């Protein structure tokens, strides 16, 4: 990492957030787990420290975690996205990047996880961009890597992470953090509006994984090996 700033994960007590935290911790990256209460965040952090001896993982209340670094990851279910963003209006500051990992699955309204919900703005990420304070940029990423895969540290990762955002420099900064996790390659998937397509890959993968009893991810072929973030 370019500095010693931790990676804040809001909703870090959930399966996806905890899985990412564990992988980053294994890579020697400091992490802050945000939760509705600092106590819950610290409980989740303690579990990761047990699994990864020496890990620099702390728990905080979401608002405090959001202030811990310039790039913040939001890993809550779709049903909790709006509430969390409303609660973070005073915590997020201009110049920050919010990495939205939300997928609008129908499971949020007691439907099937293999179906998605329509979002008025076009995607959960675009909804997040409308809700964050002025000057905060939203980048969409980490929709297709599964929590079970992340939490199974005996499983070697070999997946591509599609990153959507309106500024290449912002996406590049997010990509650097993602690629600190061995086996994950960040791919520039275009502007934020492309998140409406990327988010739809999650219910498709859930369906495939259910049929094949596995935890498949996404891998794009034919991309150059050279660093394409510039």
Residue 1 has pLDDT above 70, yes or no: no
Angstrom distance (rounded) from CA 59 to CA 179: 23
Give φ, ψ of 162 to 5 degrees.
-80, 125
Provide, for the chain, the percentages of residues in helix, strand and coil under a 3-state DSSP scheme, each rounded to the nearest 5: 40, 15, 45
Angle subtended at Cα 44 by Cα 43 and Cα 48, rounded to the nearest 5 degrees: 115
Bridge partners of residue 61, in order along the sequence: 35
Higher-confidence position of 52 and 4 = 52
| Mean pLDDT rounded to a whole number for the chain | 93
Residue 203 has pLDDT above 70, yes or no: yes
Helix (H) or strand (E) holding 23: helix 15-26
**pLDDT tens for each residue of 104-161:** 987 776 777 788 788 889 899 999 999 999 999 999 999 999 999 999 988 899 999 9
3-class DSSP state of 222:
coil
Please identify which residue in the block is written with the tokens 């709006």: 82
Length of the chain: 230
To 10 degrees, the CA torsion angle through 13, 14, 20, 22?
50
Supply the pLDDT for residue 109.
67
What does the buried/exposed string (b/e) look like for 39-64 if buried means 16 or more CB atoms within 10 Å of the residue's CB? ebbbebbebbbeebeebbbbbbbbbb
Angle subtended at Cα 70 by Cα 126 and Cα 36, rounded to the nearest 5 degrees: 70
Cβ(89)–Cβ(97) below 8 Å: no
Query: What is the pTM for the complete model shown?
Result: 0.94
Burial of 4 (0-12, 13-18, 19+ CB in 10 A): exposed
Per cent of the chain over pLDDT 70 is 96
């Amino acid at each position: 990492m370019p500095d010693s700033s931790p990676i804040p994960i809001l909703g870090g007590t959930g399966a996806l957030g905890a899985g990412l935290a564990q992988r980053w911790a294994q890579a020697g990256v400091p992490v802050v787990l945000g939760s509705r209460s600092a106590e819950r965040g610290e409980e989740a952090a303690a579990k990761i420290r047990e699994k990864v001896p020496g890990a620099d993982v702390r728990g905080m209340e979401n608002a405090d975690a959001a202030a811990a670094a310039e790039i913040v990851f939001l890993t809550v279910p779709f049903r909790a996205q709006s509430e969390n963003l409303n609660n973070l209006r005073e915590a997020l500051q201009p110049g920050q990047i919010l990495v939205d990992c939300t997928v609008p699955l129908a499971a949020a309204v007691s439907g099937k996880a293999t179906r998605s919900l329509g979002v008025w703005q076009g995607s959960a990420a675009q909804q997040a961009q409308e809700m964050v304070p002025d000057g905060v940029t939203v980048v969409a990423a980490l929709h297709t890597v599964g929590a079970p895969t992340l939490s199974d540290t005996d499983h070697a990762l070999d997946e591509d992470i599609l990153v959507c955002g309106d500024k290449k420099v912002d996406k590049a900064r997010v990509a650097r953090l993602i690629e600190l996790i061995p086996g994950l390659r960040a791919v520039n998937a275009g502007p934020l509006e492309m998140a409406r397509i990327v988010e739809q890959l999650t219910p498709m993968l859930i369906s495939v994984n259910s049929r094949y009893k596995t935890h498949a991810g996404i891998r794009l072929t034919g991309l150059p090996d050279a660093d394409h973030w510039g």
